[in-house]
Structure 1
Amino acid sequence: MTQKEFEERTGRSVTAEVYANIEKVYMNTNLDKDAFCNAYKKAPQVLSDLERQTVLVRELFEERRMMANFLIEQAEKWSASDLRDKAISMIGEKEYLRRKIERGFNLWEVDKEMLMELLKV
């Protein structure tokens, strides 16, 4: 959304500096232009809080993704079924298998059984 679009939708004029902050908040939310502008007109601070929470959630998802990858790698390295189970509980069976195959790891017998179960119609 451009500054002009924002100003037209909200009926408020803002400086380029203020708009830069508004745009940052807008880009970190999943709201469409109209929903964002309507919410901004009602409570600009709420949107800032929403943006901060959205950024935190994204960071948590990234940490979770990295932890799951680490668990998969360590399970592979040490043949540790407890680490495998934890990775599956974090990301699910399909995502676990996708990541394991993507990294070129061999499928364990239990992985093959899980894959065959998932492929059943």
Structure 2
Amino acid sequence: MTQKEFEERTGIKSNVVFEEANRMYMKAGDMDKDAFCDDYKEHGDSILLAHFYHHSNMLESKKQDVDALKNEIACFLLKKADDWDDNDLRDKAVELIGEKEVIMRKIELELELWDADKSYIKDNIR
């Protein structure tokens, strides 16, 4: 949503308020702009809303940390799977990040693609 759209819908003309409201709007997903702005006009100064928004940001940050750790562990597993020719380690990496991401990491790490990787590629390129 643009600042102009926000101002037209809420009557609030403040860069600071818009920036905060727009961050909330972007985290709201597929929420309609009009519905968001109507609700923001009514509840934008809510302490409870601010608390939940702050908590949402903290959870998002923790999720990013977990995702980074999962990626790091998956890369470790893939390297060890390649070193030891161990399909169980590859399967654990798939559980962590998914088959598509495993293949992407193997390519990035310049690891050999196994038959299972090649089958996945063949089945999913169209």
**TM-score scaled to structure 2, two decimals?**
0.61
Shift of 1:50: 4.6
Give the letter aligned to residue 95 of structure 1.
E
How far does residue 54 in structure 1 lie from its aligned partner after superposition? 5.5
Contact 2:7–2:13 (8 Å) recurs in 1: yes
Partner of 1:43: 43
Gaps of 5+ in 1: none
User: Aligned pair in 2 of structure 1 residues 104, 65: CA closer, same or farther (>3 Å)?
Assistant: farther
**Counterparts of 2:116 and 2:23 in 1: how far apart (Å)?**
46
The structure-2 alpha-carbon separation of the partners of 1:15 and 1:75, relative to structure 1 and needing over 3 Å to count, comes to closer
Aligned-residue offset at 1:114: 4.4
1:78 maps to what in 2?
80
The structure 2 residue matched to 1:67, chosen from 41, 55, 69, is 69
C-alpha contact 2:70 2:97 (8 A) present in aligned 1: yes
8 Å contact from structure 1 (residues 72, 100) kept in 2: no
Partners of 1:108 and 1:85 lie apart in 2 by 12
TM-score normalized by the length of structure 1: 0.62
Q: 1:64 to 1:105 in 2, by over 3 A?
A: farther
Q: Which residue of 1 aligns with 2:93?
A: 87
Q: Residue 20 of structure 2 aligns with which residue?
A: 21
Secondary structure of 2:77's match? helix
Identity, in percent, stands at: 36
Higher alpha-carbon deviation: 89-98 or 48-57: 48-57
1:53 to 1:67, Cα distance in 2 relative to 1, 3 A: same
Per the TM alignment, residue 37 of structure 1 is displaced from its structure 2 partner at its CA by: 0.7
Shift of 1:10: 1.9
Alpha carbon RMSD of aligned pairs, Å?
3.4
Matching residue's letter, 2:92 = K
